[in-house]
Amino acid sequence: MTKKILFFFPENPFSNRAGNVTRAKANLNILKNLGYQIDLVGIEDMYKVMGDTTDIDHNLVDTLFLLSRRPVKRIGSLEYWRYKFSLITTKNNKSNHLLTNYIKASFEKIVEAKKYDYIIINYEFWAGLIDYKPSNNQTTIIDTHDWITLNEFYKNPLLKIGDRFEEEINNLNKFDKVITISNDENFVFKGFLGDKVVNIPPSFPSHFFSNSEKKFDLIFVGSDNIFNIKSMKWFFDNVYPILPDNINIVIIGRICKHLEKRKGVTLVEFSETLDEYYSQSKIAICPMLEGTGIKIKVIEALSFGLPVVGTERAVDGFSSRIANGCLTDNNPEIFKDKIISLLQDESFYKSIKSQAEEYFKNNFSEEKALKKWKNVLTR
C-alpha cells in the first residue's frame, strides 16, 4: 500500500516566486519520486497576501487544503462563537499571529481523517500545528529552512534572544525528525537535539551549459525580502558605479519593484522559468549583507555551472568556503575586481566554472538529496 504524506507549506510551492518556494517544490518532487502519495496544506491568508493562485501540479500533489484563521461568520453558527470565545480564554501565538486555535483544529481534522504516515511541517513557527499530538503512530518531521531566532534578530535587534531560542528548540523537539539545510545550523541544532537532526542541503537538477550564447555578464535572482533589498542597495551604491560601462546585468524577481532603471540593467519582475536567463549569463552575484541559512540563489546558480561572486554571507552553510565555485569579499573594490577577472581571463573563468560544477555535484545533486530523504522516511 502506498504510504501517505501530509506536507504543510504556508504559501503555494508552485508559485515560482522565491528560493524557499523553489526548494519546497523540489522536495515535493523528491518525495513523489520516492513513491509517496502527497496532500498539501497551506494558509489561506498567506495565499492572499502573496497573490498566489490555488493552481497545483496534480502530478505531485493529490489534494490542496487551505486553512482559514477563523470560521465564516454565519447567523447562529456555534463554530464561529466558539472561536470568538477562544480568543478571550487563550493567548495568541506571539511568534506567529496566523497560528490560531481554529487553524490547529482544522489541521487536526485533516490528519485524523486520512491517517497519514508522515506529517512534514515547513518552518519552526508552525510547529504548533502538531500540539494535539498526532495519533496512529505518524512520523512527524520539521523542515527548519532557517535558524529562525537569528533571522528574527537581524530584523529586530531588541529581540530577547534567549527566550526566542528556547522557544525554537522546544518547538523543534516536538518532532521525530528535524531537517536542516545548512551545515552551520545543523551543528547548532544537533548540539541541543542530537541524532534526530538530519542535514539535507537544497537540491536541483544540473544544467551545465557550455556553448550557449551569453547575453548578460551578471545575473541576480531574488524576492523582495528585506535582506535582498539591503544587498542590492549595497551593490548599486558601491559596486555598480565602479564597474565598466559596458557591463550587462539582469535582475529577476520581486526585488525589481525596489530598483530603479539603470544603464545596462534589465529588470524582470517575474519569469516562469529561469533556465533561459541562467543559460544566457556568465556570472551570478550574491552581495548579501545579512540573513541566515544557506542561500538558495547561490546553489541554483551553481546548478547551471555559473561562477558566483558574492560577499562572505554568500557561502553561509557551505561545507567548504573554498574551491566551491564562489569568489567572496565584502570590499566593493575587490568584489568588482573578482567580476572583472572572471570576465577578462578565460582560463580563470573555466577553472572557477569547473569548481562550481564539481562542488554542486558533490553536495547539492538531486540524487544525494533523494538518498537522504529516503533514510529519513525509513522507519
CB 181 within 8 A of CB 200: yes
The yes-or-no answer to whether 4-203+366-376 and 216-363 have a common fold is yes
* Cα gap 47→12, rounded to integer Å: 7
Q: According to the model, what pLDDT value does residue 72 have?
A: 66
Of the candidates 266, 274, 271, 231, which has an alpha carbon nearest to the alpha carbon of residue 250? Answer: 266
Give the right CATH number for 4-203+366-376 from 3.30.450.260, 3.40.50.2000, 1.10.10.10, 3.40.50.970.
3.40.50.2000
All three cell numbers of 164, joined, read 526566542
121 touches 111 (CB < 8 A):
no
Class of domain 216-363: alpha beta
306: left (phi over 0), alpha (psi -120 to 50) or beta: beta
Q: What is the pLDDT of residue 211?
A: 67
Q: How does pLDDT run along the chain (379 residues), one tens digit per residue?
A: 789 999 999 999 998 777 788 889 999 999 999 999 999 999 999 999 888 889 999 999 999 999 998 776 665 555 555 655 555 556 666 778 889 989 999 999 999 888 899 999 999 999 999 997 766 678 999 999 888 888 888 888 888 999 999 999 999 999 999 999 998 899 999 999 999 999 999 988 888 876 678 999 999 999 888 889 999 999 999 999 999 999 999 999 999 999 999 999 999 998 878 889 999 999 999 999 987 778 989 999 999 999 999 999 999 989 888 899 999 999 999 999 999 999 999 999 999 999 999 999 999 988 889 999 999 998 6
Domains of the chain: which residue ranges?
Answer: 4-203+366-376, 216-363
Q: Strand, coil or helix: what is 100?
A: coil
Output phi, psi for 149, to 5 deg. -60, -45
Cα–Cα–Cα angle for 336, 340, 343, nearest 5°?
140
SS3 49: helix
284: its cell numbers: 551570478
- Type of residue at 367: E
Contact call for residues 216 and 277 (beta carbons, < 8 A) = yes
Res 146: pLDDT: 85
pTM confidence score: 0.83
Q: Quick one: how far is CA 12 from the chain centroid?
A: 12
Whole-number pLDDT of residue 83: 57
Contact between 145 and 127 (Cβ < 8 Å) = no
243 CB contacts (<8 Å, ≥6 apart)?
A: 336, 339, 340
Question: Which residue, among 173, 175, 118, 179, has the nearest Cα to 144 in the 3D structure?
Answer: 179
Q: How far apart are CA 51 and CA 223, in angstroms?
A: 14
